Structure 1
């Protein structure tokens, strides 16, 4: 990985989770962010409870709450993003959808939406089919928003896997390897400036 002396640390923003504190998807997003920190990044997390405080996105009412402005500003200044969601009926959660809808506020930026930035995706769901359809749905959204989904997506089948032990430590080596790989891909892309102009 290369960088320039004196360059600011890369900023990686995580978002995701559920109304439940410390959900599996949220904890895996945090694990990716922690790996990014080990690789020199500064990170910010918008977890399920934070996303739950966002009002329903309404493009007809542009006045934004402090929480909405904070999320938009964080994504605007991010070099990479990590998004995690549970799989609900084959799709991603309403909390995550509402947060992504709010990013319509970036449509007028010179670097619109996720343009040219790596986006790591994480899904937890009850079954491999739901994992696959939810991950695919998120990839489609990231492509539509001009981002670059990392080749490694982390999918956890909650019926077969228990990635965390009783202390909250990531104990599934397969998931841990995917977390490390995704973080490396995010940081490599961000550091090498692989973005292409539109």
Structure 2
């Protein structure tokens, strides 16, 4: 089996945001479990608004669509903005429409781990629900566990390491479930 590719998508336009740090912890754990990883975050997210039917793509958008096609699983990480995901992340996800005619349409059969960073608990639960709903709408498999992190508390150091063992554990569970589901899918495709 080739190592599964897990794509981390999210964060904010600000490099080193809490949601980007959280996503990278989950991706590092996925690597420890044998996955290859790629990330699309920070300034990568600054793309033109997705326009259906417009095939003119920036290099950044072409790279993202290529990663969507190659990925065996996804980790989505978003801040909670007024009870939902960021517009930057939603716009990036909208580029999955370029996969509508692919043999493996959208994110069909691929695991999607969800992470939300919120300045309190209320908006985080709504945002994680929105991320899971989007994954489901794209035919992805939202993982059973999603991490909702309260960033009103200090969670990460300047280097992106978790300051809280329970936060570390939550992010590792997200990474592990995406890798495990990707490997199970590969095994099922091989057997059947």
Q: Which residue of 1 aligns with 2:44?
A: 50
Q: What is the total number of aligned residue pairs between the two structures?
A: 189
Contact 2:83/2:126 (8 A) holds in 1: yes
Contact 1:116/1:195 (8 A) holds in 2: no
Q: Are 1:13 and 2:7 matched, yes or no?
A: yes
SS at 1:44 equivalent: strand
Q: Which residue of 1 aligns with 2:65?
A: 72
Contact 2:117/2:151 (8 A) holds in 1: yes
Relative to its length, the structure with more helix (as a share) is 2
The counterpart of 2:144, out of the listed 143, 151, 156, is 151
Q: Are 1:176 and 2:165 matched, yes or no?
A: no
Contact 1:11/1:43 (8 A) holds in 2: yes
Q: Which residue of 2 aligns with 1:164?
A: 156
How do 1:1-198 and structure 2 match up within 5 A?
A: 7-52=1-46, 54-159=47-152, 161-193=153-185
SS at 2:23 equivalent: helix
* Deviation of 1:168 (Å): 3.0
Q: TM-score, normalised by structure 2?
A: 0.94
**Where does the alignment leave 5 or more consecutive residues of structure 1 unmatched?**
1-6
The CA distance in 2 between the partners of 1:128 and 1:113, in whole Å, is 31
**Where does the alignment leave 5 or more consecutive residues of structure 2 unmatched?**
none
Q: Output one character per residue of 1:52-83: Cα deviation in whole Å (capped at 9) or x when no partner.
A: 1x111111311212111110110111111011
Q: CA RMSD in A?
A: 1.6
The CA distance in 2 between the partners of 1:38 and 1:152, in whole Å, is 19
Q: From the superposition, tell whether residues 109 and 129 of structure 1 become closer, same or farther in structure 2 (CA, over 3 Å).
A: same
Q: Which residue of 2 aligns with 1:4?
A: none
